[in-house]
Structure 1
Amino acid sequence: MLTIHAAMDKILKLTCCLLFISMVGVASWQVIARYVLNTPSTISEALLRFSLVWLSMLAIAYVTGQREHVSLTLLTDKLTGKWKIGCDFLMEFLFIVFSAVVLIYGGMQATSNSMSQIYPMLNIPKGLLYLSLPASGAIIIVYCLNNFCLIYKNIFLTRSQAS
């Protein structure tokens, strides 16, 4: 499970870095084209918006996999033992449910509903923008299942070391 986790981490980090670098390049080109060449780029804003959505969704999936997402830990920091483990399992389960229902199911509905619409400046289907939702949802579910295994393995190691 750790090899899957590490491979997904590398792929997501590389993809996010490439998207961010391309966004910096496109934004720089937009400024140069507008203020130096006096011919504003027509597709740069649309490309930046498209890239930002994909970057955000992939970064959310990565952060969820690292268990570094924003959470209110006022209660969970005070828990120990079985209560802490139960809370960890519950959080992963809730992430799976949210990802399955909202990101995958809802994202697939949005993708299929908008696939016939064309993104005007980029001349691509609008559904490709919404495809970031089910893609990130699937990645989050894989990460959460992996986190389930890691939590369980840690419990097992802790019990065997105590014996």
Structure 2
Amino acid sequence: MVHMRSLLDRFIQAVCCGLFIVMVVAASWQVISRYALNSPSTISEAFLRFSLVWLSMIAIAYVAGRREHVSLTLLTDRLSGIWKATLDMSIEILFIAFAGLVMIYGGAQAASNTMSQIYPMLEIPKGFLYLSLPASGSIIVTYCLMNCLDLFHACHLSRSQ
């Protein structure tokens, strides 16, 4: 499981870093074309908007899956043992339910409904923008399932000792 998590982490990090580098290049081109060439590039602006959505969604999935998101720990800090493990497992299950229903199912519906609409500047279907929802939802579900297995193994090990 550790190897699979490490591979997923590295893949997502590479995608996010690559996308960020491409965005920096596109933003630099936008500035150069606007001020040096006096002919602003409309494609780079639309691409940056599109890329920012994808980068944000993938980064959110990464952070949520690694359990490094902002959370209220008032209750979990006071619990220990089986109660803490149960609450942590419940939170993971809620994340899976949200990601599955809202992000994967809802995002797939939104993408499907907007595939016939064209993103004007990039001349691609708007559905590609909404595909970031099921993609990031799938990453969240994958991480949460790994987190559930880790929690289960940690709880099982603490019981046997």
Which residue pairs with 1:143 in the alignment?
A: 143
Question: Are the aligned partners of 2:30 and 2:40 in contact in 1 as well (CA < 8 Å)?
Answer: yes
Q: Secondary structure at the match of 2:38?
A: coil
Which residue pairs with 2:36 in the alignment?
A: 36
Taking the TM superposition and a 5 Å limit, the aligned residue runs for 1:1-163 are 1-160=1-160, 162=161
Q: Secondary structure at the match of 2:42?
A: coil
Deviation at 1:157, TM superposition (A): 2.1
For the residues of structure 1 that align with 2:4 and 2:124, how far apart are their CA atoms?
32
CA shift digits 1:21-56 (9 cap, x unpaired): 111111111011101111110101110011000000
**What TM-score comes out, normalization by structure 2 length?**
0.97
For the residues of structure 1 that align with 2:93 and 2:6, how far apart are their CA atoms?
21
CA shift digits 1:91-137 (9 cap, x unpaired): 00000000011001110110000000110100111000000000111
- Give the superposed CA RMSD: 0.8
Deviation at 1:3, TM superposition (A): 1.6
CA shift digits 1:43-73 (9 cap, x unpaired): 0111001100000010011111211011111
For the residues of structure 2 that align with 1:32 and 1:107, how far apart are their CA atoms?
36
Deviation at 1:2, TM superposition (A): 1.6
Deviation at 1:158, TM superposition (A): 1.9
**What TM-score comes out, normalization by structure 1 length?**
0.96
Deviation at 1:74, TM superposition (A): 1.2
For the residues of structure 1 that align with 2:111 and 2:2, how far apart are their CA atoms?
32
For the residues of structure 2 that align with 1:77 and 1:25, how far apart are their CA atoms?
44
Deviation at 1:159, TM superposition (A): 2.4
Structure 2: state its 5+ residue gaps. Answer: none
Aligned length: 161
Aligned-residue identity in percent: 63
For the residues of structure 1 that align with 2:94 and 2:69, how far apart are their CA atoms?
13
Q: Secondary structure at the match of 2:152?
A: helix
For the residues of structure 1 that align with 2:113 and 2:50, how far apart are their CA atoms?
18
For the residues of structure 2 that align with 1:129 and 1:49, how far apart are their CA atoms?
10
Structure 1: state its 5+ residue gaps. Answer: none
